[in-house]
Structure 1
Amino acid sequence: MRVQNTHHNVKPTLAPARHASPERHVAAARHGSPERPVAGARHGSLVSHAAPTSQTSTGRPLGNFSQVTALMPSFYIKPNDTVSLYRACMDNRDVILRALKENASNSETQDFLGFASFLGELGPHPFIPALLGVVSVQSPLLIVMEELRHKDLLGFLWKCREDNTGHDMTEKRIFTMAGQVASALDYLHSQGCIHRNIGARNVLVGGDMAAKLWGLGSAYQRKQANYTGVAEDMELKKWQAPEVLARRTATNSSDVWSFGILLYEMVTLGDPPFAHIMLTELLQYLQRGKTVKRPTNCSNTLYSIMKSCCHWTPQERPSVTELIRILNVGEKSANGSTVLRVPEPLNIEKYRRETGYGEAFNYAVL
């Protein structure tokens, strides 16, 4: 396999996706790297689709990736009819492989490669997961992403509830991670992209505790000329701004509202927002001037930012640029020693009901 350098605005080449060949190409998503062989990559194996719970690599070879194992379906990772997710090693680096299944239709194949092109055109950002390459010439078609050690932020927050896990969250860390997500959001907006699906489930956490904004499938779908409304199935209502709930046009300020809900998730270690409000009553609740309630362990400064993001009037919310400035100032004086704790144990079924999780097809896209 050869690594072929491409510019971000060059779309991957579509080739027959049904027949394997010894010759596969990876379109590397980075500038200035000469064509070179993949170093340190050995032949790995694809986990059998018939036994997705097995950690043993038993299927046919998957390119020159090594240590290939399936990502197990879980609360965060839902089964998908067209894409399989795997962990692997490439160039001595842990990666996530998004593999298009063999039975994908032509439209699904085009959509898969279109999403890869969308990621490439966005270009690199330190707080967006890195696109490392796209296998676009022979089957299986792959999107190669960096792996983030702690996976999604929602799961990380839930682990922070447990004692003796080595996972801790402090107010200072909230400011730091929120500033990183805001930086990524500011970059997306500069590229003409409204995220619309911001939440802890769509933020990934690296081994260095850096937070990276992901969940870009909704943004990609909405940018398509033939958009049919499928992205709405990916978006959870309780994270949406009131104007979006009212089916008005989403703006950058709509993402700012969702960012405020993300702050609520972080300080509560993964509690559902508006837990006691039914989805059908949420818009009326907000129309009455209600907003997110202050968590018991939330400082005045952090709650003030949260409320400003969740202002009813979009024009009254801070811009993302202003939000970054406020977060940077708050980080300097935030408490970095007191570890946040939540006494209530997590109840997954209760969480599903209170968030409306079962009403959307959300994928933690690792």
Structure 2
Amino acid sequence: MPHNALDKKSNFELLEKEVGLDLFFPKQMQENLKPKQFRKMIQQTFQQYASLREEECVMKFFNTLAGFANIDQETFRCELIQGWNITVDLVIGPKGIRQLTSQDAKPTCLAQFKHIKSIRCLLLEEGQAVLQIGIEGAPQSLSIKTSSLAEAENMADLVDGYCRLQGEHKGSLIIRPKKGVFPLEDGEKRNSLPQIPTLNLETRRPHLSESCSIESDIYAEIPDETLRRPGGPQYGIAREDVVLNRILGEGFFGEVYEGVYTSHKGEKINVAVKTCKKDCTLDSKEKFVSEAVIMRNLDHPHIVKLIGIIEEEPTWIVMELYPYGELGHYLERNKNCLKVLTLVLYSLQICKAMAYLESINCVHRDIAVRNILVASPECVKLGDFGLSRYIEDEEYYKASVTRLPIKWMSPESINFRRFTTASDVWMFAVCMWEILSFGKQPFFWLENKDVIGVLEKGDRLPKPDLCPPVLYTLMTRCWDYDPSERPRFTELVCSLSDIYQMEKDVAIEQERNARYRPPKILEPTAFQEPPPKPSRPKYRPPPQTNLLAPKLQFQVPEGLCASSPTLTSPMEYPSPVNSLHTPPLHRHNVFKRHSMREEDFIRPSSREEAQQLWEAERVRMRQLQEKQQKQMVEDYQWLRQEERSLDPMVYMNDKSPLTPEKEVGYTEFTGPPEKPPRLGVQSIQPTANLDRTHDLVYLNVMELVRAVLDLKNELCQLPPEGYVVVVKNVGLTLRKLIASVDDLLPSLPSSSRTEIEGTQKLLNKDLAELINKMRLAQQNAVTSLSEECKRQMLTASHTLAVDAKNLLDAVDQAKVLANLAQPLAE
């Protein structure tokens, strides 16, 4: 864990509530200290030891423990046989074999390890045993009677180990008689420790069930019934029904073969057979079988199907064979032909499989492209349930010491080995990143030990090149440090379904545009050259004496600017040949551009008709440009009028600015072509020419515009935590504006109140949207989406300013109707 792991509130709460501080600190200490002081003390102490390596932590623990307990010696309650039996506490440690008659007395040395020449263990009646230790120079051996065979065996191995460490003996001093503990030839010595006595599988399982029931409910394991043999009637198959072919690969427990299974109906099925190595321990075999135990209860179209299991040695797990292999290799081989739509489909299918596992309280713990199989180019299936575990509601599985995929794991899984559905959500997002990166390993530029430090700092995987921004935003939600803030798989299925539908609609539209292209007009040679482009005068920026912001060039709303990205997008600027077609609205807001079909165009039959079409098109374009020029002039005049109304003294010494009509070299073709109005957006009219003396609504609108301009100018220089300040300034200014409108509202006609109140509600929604975009920008400040989030934040602030201007216009109209407005004196 990094040194600052406990600085995060979620980690400390996990340690306090889930693990428990009672394991580390006395109850009295926790009660005497204040919670804040106690937490600070824990954090400071943890930082002192966080830099230690694992071996150093172990040595530090034993050095600390040695000050409270004798950890370098073991005490056995036994009897010394010296003509009569004396019950003593026998102490075996580095100083030799000693006896302790009472707690206050000093231990008496019975033998030193360098003088011991033989060790013999004999079995007595009623399960008792005698340990005989031959001592050099002593007339008789030291005989020690124990209450059980296991205790005598333990003492013999402990003494033999000390003799090898401190003496010159290279081999064991234990002598095995024919009868007794070690049934080998008399006088023969062994050079290794005795094997640990084990029970067979059938007699051991009841003990496992009892031990599982004793443990805490928090440390959930697979339910007891899953420890029985899974080879029931429906999954137990005969070995002669399976024929093995070539090796597909090698797993953790053994090889994976391609084979053919013959069912009871005589049907031949291609299968993949997982085998378990013959030299695996009993514990490893049980873990191998546990995968089949979990898989036999799963039934989902995107989860690998279990055919059967052969539990007799050697153990085989037989599953469906998918010819395309692992998804990781499939992505690498086909990355040049796979489309984003297909990659999103793969992510959606795996998400559905994980939602199914979530519904049955099962955590997978190893979601990665290496564990996903490709059944067909349009279907993938989740497999490899070797690390999967069942959990109860509101609980988690705590992993034992085992090999885990660090680079795919969530912070709480790395720090505390804590696995929940939320940690599976994190791993699923990493798997989506793998899919969109065509099989690249996450954090391939880091070592396993460095990953947690990167995650603790807030860094996340970068956006893949082909990943849609909305999908990467969903990934970042899944990578929230707080597990409770991550979405559930049921929510992810809905979000991914929408994203998939959006990508599908875009792909269909692109395919249709590529398929239906308008026929080319066969023009005469004289008309193939485009008309000469008219010259444009140099742009003259407005004077730099702007009151609102010195750096601001103009304050025309973005919707009126020719450079507005939304207005100049292809879907909102129709070409002359298809301007009569209106783009339909789509449920996913995918605006489509209608291509011209062959039946929509009448092919010219002669040169004269082609010339007439060309002249008609030029006339129509000229009309569009004249209308656009007129609109630009009106916008420019409104802008100048608004700037003068802010402070007339600014322009006292300034000559009247040149209007577009008076600029030298200005022609009717200077402006860009006319922009049609955006869907759902009304063109903004100039502010009424009224007397603004003591007009609080007008003054507050201007103050709100200044606040928005300050936000736009300062956003790029501010750190993420500074966004709150500028947004708060906008919110306070908006509150003053709405309060001034509320004060004026009773004096206005009732017919105008509905429009004004609706505009007020719209402003509140605009502020809420600005706050949401601010939070999104803060969350993605260190990701590749930072600039996109800032742009959305600026768009939201612009919308707020435009709606404030609309509120001012509505109030002005109401005041005119109520005869409360005074025209501006000439």
TM-score by length of 2: 0.31
When residues 204 and 125 of structure 1 are mapped into structure 2, their CA distance, relative to the original with a 3 A threshold, is same
Give the one of 242, 251, 260 matched to 1:65: 242
Counterpart mapping for 1:312-323 below 5 A = 312-323=481-492
Q: How does 1:138-177 map to 2 (within 5 A)?
A: 138-161=312-335, 168-177=337-346
Task: Look up the match of 2:463.
Answer: 294
Q: 1:108 to 1:222 in 2, by over 3 A?
A: farther
Deviation at 1:105, TM superposition (A): 4.8
CA contact (8 A) 1:26 1:135 kept: no
Mapped contact 2:363–2:389 kept (Cα < 8 A): no
* TM-aligned CA deviation for residue 221 of structure 1: 9.8
CA distance in 1, matches of 2:232, 2:421: 34
1:71-109 per-position Cα deviation (integer Å, ceiling 9, x unaligned): 244xxx34x5x5332111123221011234455554444
Deviation of residue 212 (structure 1)? 1.1
- Residue 178 of structure 1: CA displacement? 1.0
CA-CA distance at 1:307 after TM superposition: 1.4
Distance 1:104 1:317, change over 3 A: closer
Secondary structure of the corresponding residue to residue 362 of structure 2: coil
Deviation at 1:128, TM superposition (A): 0.9
Cα separation, partners in 2 of 1:83 and 1:278, compared to 1, 3 Å:
closer
**Contact 1:12/1:116 (CA < 8 Å) preserved in 2?**
no
SS of corresponding position for 2:273: strand
Pick the aligned partner of 2:302 from 117, 127, 131.
Answer: 127
What amino acid maps onto 1:115 in structure 2?
E
Larger radius of gyration: 2
* 1:182-222 superposed Cα distances (whole Å, 9 cap, x missing partner): 11111212222111111111111112531111121111499
For residues 10 and 314 of structure 1, the distance between their equivalents in structure 2, rounded to whole angstroms, comes to: 29
Which residue in the other structure is 1:55 paired with? Answer: none
Structure 2 match to 1:273:
442
Kept in 2, the 8 Å contact 1:256–1:319? The answer is yes
Higher normalized contact order (CA 8 Å, seq sep 6+, divided by chain length): 1
Structure 2 Cα separation of the partners of residues 133 and 203 of structure 1: 20
- Residue 250 (1) aligns with residue 456 (2): no
Aligned ranges 1:320-339 → 2 under 5 Å: 320-334=489-503, 336=507
Task: Give the CA deviation at 1:65.
Answer: 2.4
Which whole-Å CA distance do the structure 2 matches of 1:171 and 1:285 have between them? 28
Out of 257, 262, 268, the residue aligned to residue 92 of structure 1 is 268
Q: CA deviation at 1:298?
A: 1.9
Aligned residue pairs: how many?
Answer: 274
Task: Report what 2:294 is aligned to.
Answer: 118
Corresponding letter in the other structure for 1:250: F
Q: Structure 2 counterpart of 1:63, which letter?
A: E
Deviation, 1:326, is: 0.4
Residues 318 and 106 of structure 1: CA distance in aligned 2, closer, same or farther (over 3 Å): closer
Task: Give the secondary structure class of the aligned counterpart of 2:345.
Answer: helix
| CA–CA distance in structure 2, aligned partners of residues 237 and 202 of structure 1 | 15
Identify the match of residue 28 of structure 1 among 205, 225, 234.
Answer: 234
Relative to structure 1, the CA distance from residue 150 to residue 213 in structure 2 (aligned partners, 3 Å threshold; closer, same or farther) is same
Contact persistence 2:399–2:417 (CA under 8 A):
no
3-state secondary structure, aligned to 1:180: helix
Check whether the contact 1:28–1:132 (CA below 8 A) recurs between aligned residues: no
1:238 has 2:407 as partner: yes
Shift in CA distance, 103/187, structure 1 to aligned 2, threshold 3 Å: same
Letter in 2 for 1:156: Y
Instruction: Give distance in 1, aligned partners of 2:496 and 2:371.
Output: 20
Deviation string, structure 1 residues 283-339 (Cα, Å, up to 9, x no partner): 22222222111122222122112211112222221111000000111111115589x
Distance, in Å, in 1 between the alignment partners of 2:466 and 2:327 is 19
1:63 counterpart SS class: helix
Residue 379 of structure 2 is matched in structure 1 by 210
SS across alignment from 1:71: strand
* Structure 1 gap ranges (5+): 1-8, 15-24, 31-36, 39-61, 339-366
The AA in structure 2 aligned to 1:128 is I
Q: Aligned equivalents of 2:470 and 2:300: distance in 1?
A: 28
Change beyond 3 A, Cα 1:318–1:13: closer
Identity %: 24
Over the aligned positions, Cα root-mean-square deviation in angstroms equals: 3.1
Residues 83 and 171 of structure 1, relative CA distance in 2, 3 Å threshold: same
**What SS does the aligned partner of 1:196 have?**
coil
Q: CA deviation at 1:276?
A: 2.9
Contact 2:288 2:386 in 1 (8 A): no
Q: Show the 5 A alignment for 1:65-84.
A: 65-66=242-243, 68-73=244-249, 77-78=250-251, 80=252, 82-84=253-255
> Counterpart amino acid of 2:455?
L
Equivalent-residue separation in structure 1 for 2:447 and 2:288 (angstroms): 35
Instruction: Read off the aligned partner of 1:271 and give its amino acid letter.
Output: K
Which residue, out of 357, 363, 370, partners 1:201? 370
SS state of the match for residue 85, structure 1?
strand
Give the gaps of 5 or more residues in structure 2.
Answer: 1-224, 262-266, 393-397, 511-826
CA distance in 1, matches of 2:275, 2:448: 35
Relative distance call for 1:84 and 1:151 in structure 2 (3 A) is same
